[in-house]
Amino acid sequence: DQQVKQNSPSLSVQEGRISILNCDYTNSMFDYFLWYKKYPAEGPTFLISISSIKDKNEDGRFTVFLNKSAKHLSLHIVPSQPGDSAVYFCAARGLDNFNKFYFGSGTKLNVKP
Amino acid sequence: DTGVSQDPRHKITKRGQNVTFRCDPISEHNRLYWYRQTLGQGPEFLTYFQNEAQLEKSRLLSDRFSAERPKGSFSTLEIQRTEQGDSAMYLCASSLAGGGSYNEQFFGPGTRLTVL
């Protein structure tokens, strides 16, 4: 039961342009969403999050948008840098269980110099 | 380094053998989680502890898997009679309950298990 889906396994973007990574979810009980970034041979590292009471959260070059009616969230990276090349995971947590995160399958971002 | 650490980083074993992995969380974190990640997938929740109490186990955690956190600090994950399907990256994460940051989980580098 894949409750969090990232339908794009990979994305390639030119340095300086915008990267948009997408994530869809099915569980209406999810109230908190996170993006993690993962480099090879390392564990995922927290990047940015958003609560379901908001529709946008911004942190420097990273902005997450949440569309609850569509059960969709996206991560925008502007401007993209080669160091952003990594696998990005979307994760969600439900009101019924604060400790259980559901992860998507990840999108591999390649930012070309 | 005050992050989450895991040992070993890699483990190759033969089918039928037992393996044990260790996770050391961030020292002040009272919650500890185990995840499994297979190729092309995101991390899947296995179990979590609050202090020494194991509070939830996923149905993914078969009877061959056991996790402990005896003193509420480090944790071990043991897999008995390993099968080739157990080959995966095993990730540990920790968080601070009631930290006011929605229980953000900090991950270790993982232990990659290969069962031959």
**Cα B63 to Cα B77: distance, rounded to the nearest angstrom:** 12
Q: What is the pLDDT of residue B59?
A: 86
Q: Do A98 and B103 touch (CB under 8 A)?
A: yes
Nearest CA in chain B to A10: B40
Q: Which amino acid is residue B102, in one-letter code?
A: Y
pLDDT of residue B98: 64
B42 to A51: CB separation less than 8 angstroms, yes or no: no
**Mean of pLDDT over chain B:** 91
Q: What residues of chain B lie within 8 A of the CB of A89, using their CB?
A: 42-43
Contact A107, A6 (CB under 8 A): yes
Which pLDDT score is estimated for B42?
93
Picking from B60, B102, B103, B111 by the largest number of A CB atoms within 10 A of its own CB, the best residue to mutate is B102
Count other Cβ atoms within 10 Å, centred on residue A54: 13
Mean pLDDT along residues B36-44:
92
CA distance B95 to B54: 15
| Chain B: closest CA distance from residue A46 (Å) | 7
Strand order in the sheet with A56-59: A4-5, A19-25, A72-77, A62-67, A56-59
Query: What is the average pLDDT across B74-79?
Result: 97
Minimal C-alpha gap between A24 and chain B (Å): 14
Average pLDDT over every residue of B80-95: 96
Indicate the helix (H) or strand (E) that contains A37. strand A30-38
Which chain B residues are within 8 Å of A42, Cβ to Cβ?
A: 109
| Residues A29-54: tens digit of each pLDDT | 899 999 999 998 889 999 999 999 99
Structure tokens at B14: 């033969």
A53 touches chain B (CB under 8 A): no
- At residue B72 the predicted structure's pLDDT band, cuts being 50, 70 and 90, is confident
Contact A51/B102, CB-based, under 8 Å? yes
Does the pLDDT at position B70 exceed 60?
yes
Which pLDDT tens digit goes with each residue over B89-115? 999 999 987 655 556 889 999 999 999
**Per-residue pLDDT reduced to its tens digit, B13-39:** 999 999 999 999 999 899 999 999 998
The pLDDT of residue B1 is above 60? no
Q: Tell me the shortest Cα–Cα distance from A60 to chain B, in angstroms.
A: 19
**Cα radius of gyration rounded to whole Å, chain B:** 14
DSSP per-residue string spanning B39-101: TTS--EEEEEEETTEEEEE-TTS-TTEEEE-TTSS-EEEEESS--GGG-EEEEEEEE-TT-SS
